Amino acid sequence: MTKISFPAMLCQLAGCHSAHHASSTHLTLTKNFFHMELTMIVPRVVLAPSLRNSAPIKRLFTIAAIQRSSSSLTSPHQPGFGLQNYRSNSASLLSTMSSKPIIHPTVESIRSVRKSIHPSTTIGFVPTMGALHEGHLSLAREARLKNDIVIASIFVNPTQFGEGEDLDKYPRQLEEDVAKLREIGVDHVFAPNADVMYGKNHVTFVEPMQGFDETKEGISRPGHFRGVATVVTKLFNIVQPTNAYFGQKDAVQCIVIRRIAQDLDMDVNVQIMDTVREEDGLAMSSRNAYLTDEERERAPIVYQSLRAARELFDSRFARGEEEVNADDLREVVTNVLESEPMISTIEYVAIDDLENMRPMEKVGECGCVVSLACKLGSVRLIDNVVLR
């Protein structure tokens, strides 16, 4: 038997952000682990109990099987770690390491991968429209940390854009986006085009009821949530993830997606992560690229208006009041926005409940979502804060 300590290699294979998880890990392997064909046969793996079921360590033993160009199952289960053994030649393994993430332009391609994954393997899914920024990447990192396999999608969905919106000029930079996902350790990228997602005979759409089109955002963007609900349903059906990750910045969208998963009995955990902001408070968004230098300097006013609402809410409860009038919250946000001359339009300031985005007149201990949409110059910006 040969005892080998290789934290750096283990960390790379397992997708860790540092060698912390692997720093004290030793693998006890038979000498035939490294023979001329680099056959991965692991009769016994000795790991600390706390690491045995961690996603990064499990991924070490699944990555070659899931992304291999040629491999074969050599035996059922081995003693010790209890994982299936896989054989992969050196060229296949090196190709796996250098070519990740694998890009899948068709439903058939990503489905073939999905079918090859063992049912016990956890899959984290990060749906995006590309033009990735730190907000998207934080979701991918969370997925990498909590799942065995990570799949991202990059698809500019035409059905969620209304007439006169920015579908044609929305940033498309697949190569750059894939490079960013590669650094995080994403395994697969589903990158279809509109013809793949919506064939010429496509007639079926998912339309959330219960007033989502009557929310302030729904009124501002007619048909938007129908498009979101449809594409997310399709993506969930195609990828079949264990966990799916979304950012809180799109407040109504998050609630719509949770409703879809619950109402249609989808076996997926919808994870909503905090909004990621620039140092000056501006919520990260792909559309921030549209801002001129001067507009970008003024853009923090959006978050400042929401912070004013938070300060009002906190101060009222601090002095013993049990409720805050929604109109008071709306007024303080509006006043801050109107103080900035470059804010050309305030589309809405909404005070809604946390479950269904229904308008509230008074906000108590249950809290609320304060959301807004405005135009800075010609650029539409949205943001929100949760008050509790």
* Active-site residue list: 136
Report how far Cα 153 is from the mean position of its chain's Cα atoms: 9
Taking a C-beta distance cutoff of 8 angstroms, is the pair 337, 346 a contact?
yes
Q: Which amino acid is at 75?
A: S
Helix (H) or strand (E) holding 197: helix 194-197
At 74, list the tokens: 């050599």
Element (H, E) at 331: helix 326-338
Strand pairing report for 368-376 and 343-352: antiparallel
Is the backbone peptide bond immediately before 359 cis, with ω within 30 degrees of 0?
Answer: no
| Tokens, residue 135 | 């907000």
* Sheet with strand 243-247: strands edge to edge: 102-104, 188-190, 149-154, 123-128, 243-247, 269-273
Residue 279 has φ and ψ, to the nearest 5°, of: -60, -30
**Residues forming a β-bridge with 151:** 125, 188
What is the crossing angle of helices 174-184 and 134-146, to 10°? 40
- Other beta carbons within 10 angstroms of residue 225's beta carbon come to 23
